[in-house]
Amino acid sequence: MCFVTNICFINHIFAEKVTEDKIKAVLLLKFPLFIEWPEKAFNDNVKTFKIGVLGDTLVIDSLLTFNGKPIKGKILIVQQFKSVYDVKQCHVLYISPMNSKKLQKVIKVLKNKPVLLVGSQKGFSENGGIINFFIQSDKVKFEINHDVGIQRGFKISSKLLKLARIVSNP
């Protein structure tokens, strides 16, 4: 009986569909392992690492399953924001797709903050975002605007850069 139950449980795990949103969430958790933040992003009293999501997206559901887990020697806090003005202290911000005018406003508001801006829409990296997800051959891939990352004080590992398509500002 227990043997059958275990097989059913294993089949359930493997039958679960890995969605685009789940892949993005896992990558959002992995990116910090290959990136150094500017010193002003952390102070010695801060014991948390915050990943935020701006807007409505299913990525938040997958990220929330990791809330409270360790990341970069700190405790992961996942937050969802409705407005860019609610983003007070955040290390990674996934920006759900939005119209280009609103996106430009978001990028402008966060320009001088040590926040790794990650998006998922055409032109995101070329217009001030640092990492952008895209789909190619039915696979989730990402591109990095290394110049913007450097301008904002981030040090991105060559290991991560090798996996990405590198883009520049227009």
Range of the domain at 139: 19-166
Considering the entire predicted model, what is its pTM?
0.87
Q: Into how many domains does the chain fold?
A: 1
Question: What CATH number does residue 56 fall under?
Answer: 3.40.50
pLDDT in tens, 44-85: 677 899 999 999 889 999 999 999 999 988 999 999 999 999
Nearest-angstrom CA–CA distance, 152 and 154: 6
162 lies in a domain?
yes
Residue in 139, 153, 155, 83 with CA at minimum distance from that of residue 165: 139
Q: How far is CA 129 from the centre of its chain?
A: 11
62 lies in a domain?
yes
27 lies in a domain?
yes
Residues 49 and 74: beta-carbon distance below 8 Å: yes
pLDDT in tens, 77-102: 999 999 999 998 899 999 999 988 99
Exposure letters 36-48 (e unless 16+ CB within 10 A, then b): ebeeebbeeeeee
* Average pLDDT over the chain, rounded to an integer: 88
